[in-house]
Structure 1
Amino acid sequence: MRDEKLLNIAYKAIEKSKEKVSKDYYTLKYHLMPPVGFINDPNGFINIKGEYHLFYQFNPLYPEDKKAYWGHVKSTDLVNWQQLPIALCPSEWYETHGCYSGSAVNYKGIFTLMYTGNVKDSSGNRETYQCIAQSNDGVNFIKYENNPVIYNQPEGYTRHFRDPKVWKYGDMWYMVIGTQTVKEQGTALLYNSKDLFDWKLIGEVAGANTDKLSFLGYMWECPNLLNIDGKDVLIFCPQGVEKQGDLYNNRHQCGYLMGNLDYETGKLDYGDFVELDRGFEFYAPQITEDNKGRKLLIGWMGLPDEEESPTVKNGWLHCLTIVRELSIKNHRIIQNPVEEMKLLRKNRIEYNNIEIKSDNLKLDKINGDSYELICDFSWDIVSKFGIKFRCNKDCSEETVLYYDVEKEKLVLDRDKSGLSLKGIRKCKLKNHGNLKLHIFMDTSSIEAFVNDGEEVFTARIYPDKDSSGVTFFSEDGNVKLDIQYWEL
């Protein structure tokens, strides 16, 4: 009965505000976003029985109340998603303050979710429980009668113990979970189980309590542990990382360690920590392997504790990224938009051998607020070049992505991008005399894939509806340019 009551509250909130959200100009055209309210971590990303299913942290009551449900969508092609009924709501004693993040597996043919139940008392003290819910039809999920399967945290760690990511290796199930030591250092723990219900702690995969990773903050959230092209990779979100030059400039970070995992000890023999996205809003990615063997990622285009957005007044906040395929090259993760994104393409326009000579250039029909753009630049001598997106007539509003040739840095500048959000993000990029930028623009977001996924910049922007211009430019030299453009 409590489930039914909470679901009714959620559906009434959706019905009340969905029209207002749909009429907001900043509503995205091809990115997943909440029907109303607040979206954050993607959860339970899985390819099962011929379909992709994706869940997400969802608060339909935002901003009046904080209730973490699990929203649910499915797709056959990763770009066209069908909204399904809410999968989980915080109805039981072990989840009174939210059904927090988790993952999905196919357990003997049964669609199974594992998630964190969050509880807080009147003084704000936290309890965290790892829980299971299962479905025979892929829509209606029944919580395990003996939940939780893990009560709170093991000795030596705090109640910040959440976000289980589960997978099978050999004959055993494994789970990596984010936590914090009693010394308030972030870490990730590895568990195993024969049956998903009885779990044994193996040890720490890695942690900020080592000299090499001591800078990696007080809590690690949303871990994923997977094998990509023969390398074991721990992707996670460390909180409390201090800024270091161009690195770690966001409120909270997301990155990875790569090496080889010892399943007996739980230890990862890792190299350096590397940021996964160089932009402003990227957090809590969820990764799955599909029936084609692809490693697929989708992330939250937002950050914890950041709610500054003009969409709040219209009753919604945040969105998810497009789905990306992961691979490894030169011991680095490469991210590229999934092939299926091509299904959205319309009205192709192409320009070849364009030359920009220390000037600004606008091209006919290259503009708008929802498009895909591929630009191949080449040069001999030039100091700076790039693209100005979402420009108004006098360029008082624009979002700029440019390459500083002398400093060998790629820069995303949204200081004049519109309402609310400002800032500059940079990354080091070797000067090879050519640069490929693959851009996905939506009404209030930009995702830029650099040199076939060598780097990625993700950001929310809120320009005026009339700011739809695109300008290409170079300074102190010439660049050559090939362009492909599609409406989306």
Structure 2
Amino acid sequence: MTDNEKKLIQQAEDKVKECESKVESDPHRLTYHLMAPVGLINDPNGWIQWRGTYHMFYQWNPFDTGHGAKFWGHYTSKDLVNWKHEKIALSPSEWYEKNGCYSGSAVDLDGKLTLFYTGNVKDEEGNRESYQCVAQSVDGIHFEKKGPVIAELPEGYTAHFRDPKVWKEQGEWYMVIGAQTKDLKGHALLYRSEDGKSWSFLGPVAGSGVPPLHDFGYMWECPDLFSLEDKKVLIVSPQGLQPEGMHYHNTYQAGYFIGELDLAAPKFHHGAFDELDRGFEFYAPQTTVDEKGRRIMIGWMGVPEQQEDLHPTIENGWIHCLTLPRELKRKGCRLIQVPVDDLEALRSGEVSVEKATVEHQGVTFEGVSGDTLEIEIRDFTNLPAYFEIEFRREARLIYDREARVMTFERKSFANRLTERRQCHLEELRSLRIFLDTSSAELFVNGGEEVFTARYFPGPHEKNIQFSSSEPTSFSLKKWTLGL
């Protein structure tokens, strides 16, 4: 470890101690989601289960609630429920990363936990350079930087060239990188290596202007290319999509393509793009396969440049969090997201209502309230034309059966006006709802649709109310969540 690295890490640790009391006293601080101890958290990085332990690294600016020269923070867990905050994994200490250790991934390379990440460098005029870098660890905690393994941009691309996701297939290593062409089109680029150290550029596998796509964003961030059952899935976060009907209403999007990958061409033959999440805050997700064979995804519960400076937690020195871990499954040409079974360990105090009946507006059920809870609803009888659940007077989930539209509304933390996100939904069969002190993750019809959002109720607002246009009933279970 260099002297500069030691210095930066010490400064970050000092900042954590300085702000600990203020941060932890915030009533909006979450209870069962991963957060940074201070400052800003954004993309999940290096998501892997290695030697029986889950490792979640994350983009972190410890010195400010805005974006800056990012570190890699680090959590570990044996069970996806109990997490330990580890030592800082990476700091922007070297010449090739001096303006930030940007996003990347993790693999086991030669028996070492190996991080691939983007080193971000800017000069005084703001001109950018990007390097794909490596750091390795024999114990999973202390990392030795090896420097850049890709130091040159491919011809025709700008320095917006980042977020390497690495995997092994057919005995060789592959890396997919988010990139931007000089004519401002977002691409996912593919590299190959025999040893994980020397890399060859193969070309774009998909992107804006690459058939079958026309214009589809000026930059593709955080690509993740993997197998799921007998298909390939490319998850990507395109920037520059314009709203279309109910789609693309966040500043930037996160979604996926399903298809077939021709490694020789290279070419990803894919279908249409679909958003992973219909809510307000979801971006830069990353997946891994664990020892049980599950493809597990975690995302950032935030969106860059989307009113970040107006979050109410900023006054207490922190912002954003990560989502719950979700197992990905495939149903035809759709991805299904299911909260991992491990999360059931968070449950206590079950309340069960076999036939919960709603005949009017504002119905409550005894014991079905709180700020950190899970609600499961299924087996509707006489689903009404209009069905609504209000969360702590701050947000609402509404199903309009006649229009076949699901709507999630909240009071904007920016101006307190009502804002909404929507999706088409043929029928409502079930709901699984996770509420934390200032977050909501809503899984519709077994995870066929998902809404993720931050919301900021008053700390004493705990009521959950149900309304319907006609009498209806359903089975309902509620648990308090927490360690």
Q: Normalised by the shorter chain, which TM-score bucket? A: over 0.9
TM-aligned CA deviation for residue 355 of structure 1: 2.2
Query: Are 1:156 and 2:156 counterparts?
Result: yes
Partner residue of 1:423? Answer: 419
Inter-partner Cα distance in structure 1 for 2:106 and 2:249 = 32
The answer to whether the 8 A contact 1:436-1:450 is kept is: yes
**Aligned pairs for 1:79-478 within 5 A:** 79-144=81-146, 147-210=147-210, 212-306=212-306, 307=308, 308-376=310-378, 378-380=380-382, 382-391=384-393, 398-415=394-411, 422-431=418-427, 434-475=428-469, 477-478=470-471
Inter-partner Cα distance in structure 2 for 1:8 and 1:113 = 22
Inter-partner Cα distance in structure 1 for 2:230 and 2:268 = 14
TM-aligned CA deviation for residue 205 of structure 1: 1.2
Inter-partner Cα distance in structure 2 for 1:424 and 1:213 = 28
TM-aligned CA deviation for residue 224 of structure 1: 0.3
Match of 2:213, SS?
coil
CA RMSD of aligned residues (A): 1.5
TM-aligned CA deviation for residue 408 of structure 1: 0.2
Inter-partner Cα distance in structure 2 for 1:8 and 1:190 = 37
Residues 250-270 of structure 1: per-residue CA shift (max 9 Å, x gap): 000000010010111221110
TM-aligned CA deviation for residue 421 of structure 1: 8.0
The code of the aligned residue for 1:350 comes to S
Instruction: Say which is worse superposed, 205-214 or 40-49, in terms of deviation.
Output: 205-214
TM-aligned CA deviation for residue 215 of structure 1: 3.8
Inter-partner Cα distance in structure 2 for 1:419 and 1:343 = 37
The code of the aligned residue for 1:110 comes to K
Match of residue 472, structure 2, among 455, 467, 479: 479
TM-aligned CA deviation for residue 121 of structure 1: 0.6
Inter-partner Cα distance in structure 1 for 2:357 and 2:12 = 55
The answer to whether the 8 A contact 2:40-2:320 is kept is: yes
* 1:420 to 1:100, Cα distance in 2 relative to 1, 3 A: farther
Q: How many aligned residue pairs are there?
A: 477
Residues 66-92 of structure 1: per-residue CA shift (max 9 Å, x gap): 220000010001111000000000010
The answer to whether the 8 A contact 1:279-1:412 is kept is: yes
Match of 2:10, SS?
helix
Match of residue 13, structure 1, among 12, 15, 24: 15
* 1:262 to 1:64, Cα distance in 2 relative to 1, 3 A: closer
Match of 2:86, SS?
strand
The answer to whether the 8 A contact 2:371-2:435 is kept is: yes
Inter-partner Cα distance in structure 2 for 1:295 and 1:208 = 27
The code of the aligned residue for 2:434 comes to F
The answer to whether the 8 A contact 1:185-1:219 is kept is: yes
Residues 117-143 of structure 1: per-residue CA shift (max 9 Å, x gap): 000111111000000000011100000
Match of 2:158, SS?
strand
Residues 359-387 of structure 1: per-residue CA shift (max 9 Å, x gap): 33111111110001001252446221021
Inter-partner Cα distance in structure 2 for 1:157 and 1:259 = 25
Inter-partner Cα distance in structure 1 for 2:210 and 2:130 = 26
Inter-partner Cα distance in structure 2 for 1:56 and 1:429 = 34
Match of 2:89, SS?
strand
The answer to whether the 8 A contact 2:185-2:215 is kept is: no
Partner residue of 1:394? Answer: none
Inter-partner Cα distance in structure 1 for 2:186 and 2:290 = 30
Instruction: Say which is worse superposed, 352-361 or 280-289, in terms of deviation.
Output: 352-361
The answer to whether the 8 A contact 2:221-2:238 is kept is: yes
Inter-partner Cα distance in structure 2 for 1:81 and 1:422 = 35
Inter-partner Cα distance in structure 2 for 1:296 and 1:49 = 17
The code of the aligned residue for 2:398 comes to Y
The code of the aligned residue for 2:322 comes to L
Residues 161-216 of structure 1: per-residue CA shift (max 9 Å, x gap): 00000000021000000001111011100110011111111121111113642242
Residues 389-442 of structure 1: per-residue CA shift (max 9 Å, x gap): 113xxxxxx3100101111011101037898685200000003xx421100000
Residues 52-74 of structure 1: per-residue CA shift (max 9 Å, x gap): 01100011101488220000010
TM-aligned CA deviation for residue 449 of structure 1: 0.5
Inter-partner Cα distance in structure 1 for 2:383 and 2:58 = 47
The code of the aligned residue for 1:10 comes to A
The answer to whether the 8 A contact 2:65-2:319 is kept is: no
Instruction: Say which is worse superposed, 382-391 or 321-330, in terms of deviation.
Output: 382-391
Match of 2:148, SS?
coil
Identical aligned pairs, as a percentage? 48
Instruction: Say which is worse superposed, 375-384 or 201-210, in terms of deviation.
Output: 375-384
TM-score, normalising length: structure 2: 0.96
Flag as ranges the 4+ runs of structure 1 deviating above 4 A. Answer: 416-422
The answer to whether the 8 A contact 2:311-2:414 is kept is: no
Match of 2:384, SS?
coil
* 1:244 to 1:309, Cα distance in 2 relative to 1, 3 A: same
Gaps of 5+ in 2: none
The code of the aligned residue for 1:194 comes to E
The code of the aligned residue for 2:111 comes to G
The code of the aligned residue for 2:480 comes to E
The answer to whether the 8 A contact 1:208-1:215 is kept is: yes
Gaps of 5+ in 1: 392-397
The answer to whether the 8 A contact 2:312-2:413 is kept is: no
The answer to whether the 8 A contact 2:359-2:468 is kept is: yes
Partner residue of 1:395? Answer: none
